[in-house]
C-alpha cells in the first residue's frame, strides 16, 4: 500500500442494479414507471431556452420548491429539493444524525441506509421485522440518535397505517424521524399530514417512481422550517448548484400536471391489483404490496432459478438473496402488456416445472 | 433549543453569488461563458428520447466517461464524473483527506475548500500568497494530510507554470494532491501531462466555464485508476445515480464538438487580452490573468463603490471584500459587446469620479 492510500476512506460500496439494454427486454427490476414523464414536463424540456444553460441554475431551485409547496399545501421554506431522494436522504444523515447513539432502521429495508451510516460513521441498530415482514413499532421506543424507515417498506411493499407511523414519531420527539415515502403515491395516506404537529418529522419523496422521472434525478423533503434550513445549510456547504436546469423546469411542470399524475398512478395501482390476483392464481404468495412492485415467492420454485429463467426470456426482475429475502423476487409493476408477457411466461414455466 | 436540534451538524454555509434576473443586465459576476453550449450538445438535448427519462440513468455515465477518456488520451477507468466540479472536489475531500494532519491550500483561493474541510471536520492550513498574490511552492513542503490548489488560482487568475506545479506534487508524494483546473482551458499546459508520472495526482476540471454548461452541472476528475476507483466507491456509497440523462448526453456531445470548443475558448482569450489593455488604459491594475476573468483594482476608486455604481447600471461583477481582496473586483470575460458596454461605462464613471 502506498502512503497516500492510508488516507482513503474505506467503504463497502453499494452496487447499483443491472441496467440491461436492448429493445425487446421487459424491465421490471428497478421500480421504474412504465409511463413516460408528463406531457407538460416533456414540453418544458423541448422548449427549454438552451442559451440559459451557459449560466448557473438557481441554487434554490425556487420555481420547483414553490410548485411543490403549493401542491402539498406547505410554505416554500418547508421544502428541500435534491438530486434524487438518495441525495436528500444522504444529506439528511449527514445533517441530522450527529449523535453517539445509534440511528434506528429495520433490518430488512432500503439497503442504502446502512451504506450511508457506514459512510458517515454513524452507529446504527436494525430491529428485525416480524415473521410477516412487518415493522414492530415498539422496537423504536428506546433511546436513539434518530429513526428512518420507508413507508411502504422496501422491498416488501408493506404499508404501515398512519396511526402506527405517528406512534413511532410520537415516541421519538427528541430526535429527527425520517419517513421515506418513495412509494407513497401508490399506497395511501402520507405522513405529510403530520408535519404540522411534529417538528422533528421529515418526509422524503421522489420523482423517480410515481412521476416517471428516474432519469432526471429529483427528490424532495418536507418538514418544519428549521429542519429544512439545516438541510439547506449543509447542502450549500457541499455543492450550491446541485440540480440542473432541465431538472428544475421539468420537475416544476410535472408537479403542475396533476391530471396526468393521477391517471398514471391509478393505472399502475390497477395493474398491481390485477397482478396480485394473477400471481395468487399461479400459486405465488407475497406481502400485500401498496407500492409499484410485488415481492413474491413460490412454494415450488426457488426464486433464484425463476430469476434466471426470466432473464433468459429477457424479463428482468430483482433478486436480492440473503437469509430472509432469498425466497422472493421483487417484480416491478410494468404496463399491462408487459405484465401479460410475464404471466404468459410464468404459466408456461410453472406447468413444465417439476 | 429542542433536543433534536442538538444532533444537527453545525456549518457556516457558503452563500452562493447573486443570480440576478432580467433581460438587459450584463452578468459578469460568476465566470459564466458568454457563448451558448455547443451545437452538438444542444442537438442532443433537442433529440433526447424522452421515454428514456422514466428509467434510471447509467450510474457510471459510461458514454461521457469514454468521450472524456478519448479526448484526454487516458483510459476510461482513469475518469470520474460528477455533478459539477464542486461535487467532484467535495467527494474528493471525503474520499482522500482522512488524516489527522492538516490539508493544505492557499489562504486566498476558491472559498469552498474551507467550507468542505469544515463540513467533514478535516483540519487544514492555509499558507499565505506572496505580495503579488502568487502561491509560494516551498510552503507546501511540509508534512500534511493532502494538498489542493486551483491553477489558475481564484480569484486572481494567476497561472502557475507546470514546472512549479510538478514541484509541489513531487514534494508531496505521500498524500493526494488535487489540482483544480476549472479555468485551465483559458490558461496553458494542464497537469494532466503529469498523470502518468504521479499516481497521487488528481486533476479536476469542469464543463461550467470553457464548455458553456454551468446550467447542466458537469465536472470530472482524471487520475491514477486507484484514485478513481476510490472516488467511485464513495460515490456509489452516497448516491448511485447522480448525473441525469440530459447531462450525460449533452456532456458527451460537447466533448465531441472539438472545433466549437476551440473557437469559443479562443474568442474568450482574445477578449480577455483586449480587456487587459483597456483596463490598463483606464488606470486599473490586476494580476496577469489566464482565466476567464480579471481581478482588477483602481488606485482612485474604492472597489465597493465601483461595484455599486456598476450594479446601478445593471452591470454585475463580483466583490469579495476581506483584507486582501477588498480593493479589487472580479470581472468575468463576457462577449465583446458586453465588455464594450462595461468600458463605455467605466470611461464615463472615471471621468466624473473625483
User: B230 near B95, Cβ under 8 Å?
Assistant: yes
pLDDT in tens, A42-52: 999 999 999 99
What are the Cα distances from residue B351, in Å, to A305, B283, B285, B344?
84, 12, 17, 11
The partner residue sitting opposite B175, judged by closest CB among A4, A37, A215, is A4
Contact A241 B57 (CB under 8 A): no
Min Cα separation B157/chain A (Å): 20
Q: What is the DSSP string of A162-186?
A: HHHHHHHHHTTTTS-EEEE-TTGGG
Residue A76 host element (H or E): none
Task: Report the alpha-carbon distance of residue A26 to residue B51 in Å, rounded.
Answer: 15
B51: chain A residues, CB-CB within 8 Å:
36
The partner residue sitting opposite B11, judged by closest CB among A58, A216, A237, is A237
Confidence of residue A161 (pLDDT cuts 50, 70, 90): very high
Confidence of residue A284 (pLDDT cuts 50, 70, 90): very high
The partner residue sitting opposite B215, judged by closest CB among A4, A55, A116, is A55
Q: What is the DSSP string of B291-353?
A: SSEEEEE-SSS-HHHHHHHHHHTTEE-B---STTTTTEEEEE---HHHHHHHHHHHHHHHHH-
Domain ranges in chain B are 3-36+259-352, 39-257
Contact B241 A86 (CB under 8 A): yes
Question: B3-36+259-352 adopts what CATH topology?
Answer: 3.90.1150
For residue B9, what pLDDT is reported?
Answer: 87
Test mutation, A120, A217, A248, chain B, max B CBs within 10 A: A217
Cα nearest neighbour of B53 on chain A: A215
Min Cα separation B57/chain A (Å): 5
Contact B173 A7 (CB under 8 A): no
As given in the structure block, the three cell numbers for residue A32 are: 421504474
A56: chain B residues, CB-CB within 8 Å:
16, 19, 30, 32, 208, 214-215
Given a cut of 80, is residue A20 above it in pLDDT?
no
Contact B2 A199 (CB under 8 A): yes
Cα nearest neighbour of B115 on chain A: A237
The partner residue sitting opposite A86, judged by closest CB among B55, B115, B239, is B239
For residue A354, what pLDDT is reported?
Answer: 67
Contact B145 A214 (CB under 8 A): no
List, in sequence order, every residue forming a beta bridge with B297; answer none if it has no partner.
B285, B328
3-class DSSP state of B285: strand
Q: What is the mean pLDDT of chain A?
A: 95
| ipTM reported for the complex surpasses 0.85 | yes
Contact A175 B7 (CB under 8 A): yes
Which DSSP symbol is given to B321? -
Among A62, A239, A238, A58, CA closest to B215:
A58
Task: Report the alpha-carbon distance of residue A147 to residue A155 in Å, rounded.
Answer: 18
Q: What is the CATH number of domain B39-257?
A: 3.40.640.10
Q: What is the mean pLDDT of residues A162-189?
A: 97
The partner residue sitting opposite A215, judged by closest CB among B19, B54, B84, is B54
Test mutation, A1, A7, A334, chain B, max B CBs within 10 A: A7
Contact A84 B12 (CB under 8 A): no
Given a cut of 80, is residue A13 above it in pLDDT?
no
CB pairs under 8 A between A and B: 261
What is the DSSP pairing of strand B103-104 with strand B146-150? parallel
Among A87, A273, A112, A105, CA closest to A176:
A105
Min Cα separation A45/chain B (Å): 8
Q: What is the CATH number of domain A17-36+259-352?
A: 3.90.1150.10
The partner residue sitting opposite B50, judged by closest CB among A36, A116, A245, is A36
Give yes or no on whether A17-36+259-352 and A39-256 have one common fold: no
3-class DSSP state of A301: coil
Domain A39-256 has CATH 3.40.30.10: no
B292: chain A residues, CB-CB within 8 Å:
none
Test mutation, B32, B38, B47, B55, chain A, max A CBs within 10 A: B55
The partner residue sitting opposite B54, judged by closest CB among A8, A59, A212, is A212
- CA A27 to chain CA centroid, Å, is 17
Contact A54 B48 (CB under 8 A): no
Task: Report the alpha-carbon distance of residue A34 to residue A269 in Å, rounded.
Answer: 12
Contact B174 A4 (CB under 8 A): yes
Among B253, B204, B169, CA closest to B81:
B204
Q: What percentage of residues in chain A have a pLDDT greater than 90?
A: 90
For residue A10, what pLDDT is reported?
Answer: 86
The partner residue sitting opposite A14, judged by closest CB among B33, B97, B240, is B240
For residue A17, what pLDDT is reported?
Answer: 66
Contact B4 A175 (CB under 8 A): yes
pLDDT in tens, A193-222: 999 999 999 999 999 999 999 999 999 999
pLDDT by residue, tens only, chain B of 354 residues: 788 888 888 888 777 666 777 767 999 999 999 999 999 999 999 999 999 999 999 999 999 999 999 999 999 999 999 999 999 999 999 999 999 999 999 999 999 999 999 999 999 999 999 999 999 999 999 999 999 999 999 999 999 999 999 999 999 999 999 999 999 999 999 999 999 999 999 999 999 999 999 999 999 999 999 999 999 999 999 888 999 999 999 999 999 999 999 999 999 999 999 999 999 999 999 999 999 999 999 999 999 999 999 999 999 999 999 889 999 999 999 999 999 999 999 999 999 886
Amino acid at each position: 500500500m502506498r502512503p497516500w492510500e492510508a488516507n482513503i476512506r474505506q467503504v463497502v460500496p453499494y452496487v447499483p442494479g443491472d441496467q440491461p439494454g436492448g429493445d425487446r427486454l421487459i424491465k421490471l427490476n428497478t421500480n421504474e414507471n412504465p409511463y413516460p414523464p408528463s406531457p407538460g414536463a416533456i414540453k418544458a424540456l423541448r422548449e427549454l431556452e438552451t442559451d440559459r444553460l451557459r449560466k448557473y441554475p438557481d441554487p434554490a431551485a425556487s420555481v420547483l420548491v414553490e410548485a411543490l409547496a403549493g401542491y402539498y399545501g406547505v410554505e416554500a421554506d418547508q421544502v428541500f429539493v435534491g438530486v434524487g431522494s438518495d441525495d436528500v436522504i444522504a444529506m439528511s444523515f449527514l445533517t441530522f444524525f450527529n449523535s453517539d447513539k445509534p440511528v434506528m432502521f429495520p433490518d430488512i429495508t432500503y439497503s442504502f441506509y446502512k451504506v450511508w451510516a457506514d459512510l458517515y460513521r454513524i452507529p446504527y441498530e436494525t430491529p428485525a421485522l416480524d415473521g410477516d415482514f412487518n415493522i414492530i413499532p415498539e422496537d423504536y421506543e428506546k433511546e436513539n440518535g434518530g429513526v428512518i424507515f420507508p413507508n411502504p417498506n422496501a422491498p416488501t411493499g408493506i404499508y404501515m397505517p398512519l396511526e402506527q407511523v405517528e406512534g413511532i414519531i410520537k415516541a421519538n420527539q427528541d430526535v429527527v424521524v425520517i419517513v421515506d415515502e418513495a412509494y407513497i403515491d401508490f399506497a395511501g395516506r402520507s405522513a405529510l399530514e403530520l408535519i404540522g404537529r411534529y417538528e422533528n418529522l421529515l418526509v422524503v419523496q421522489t420523482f423517480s417512481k410515481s412521476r416517471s422521472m428516474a432519469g432526471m434525478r429529483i427528490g424532495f423533503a418536507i418538514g418544519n422550517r428549521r429542519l429544512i434550513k439545516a438541510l439547506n445549510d449543509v447542502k450549500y456547504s457541499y455543492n450550491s448548484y446541485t440540480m440542473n436546469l432541465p431538472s428544475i423546469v421539468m420537475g416544476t411542470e410535472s408537479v403542475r400536471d396533476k391530471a396526468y399524475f393521477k391517471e398514471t398512478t391509478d393505472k399502475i395501482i390497477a395493474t398491481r391489483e390485477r397482478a396480485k390476483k394473477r400471481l395468487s392464481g399461479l400459486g405465488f404468495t407475497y406481502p400485500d404490496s401498496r407500492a409499484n412492485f410485488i415481492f413474491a415467492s413460490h412454494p415450488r420454485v426457488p426464486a433464484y432459478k425463476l430469476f434466471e429463467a426470466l432473464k433468459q426470456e429477457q424479463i428482468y426482475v430483482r433478486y436480492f438473496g440473503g437469509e430472509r429475502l432469498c425466497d422472493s423476487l421483487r417484480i416491478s409493476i410494468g404496463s399491462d402488456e408487459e405484465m401479460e408477457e410475464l404471466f404468459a411466461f410464468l404459466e408456461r414455466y410453472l406447468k413444465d416445472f417439476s
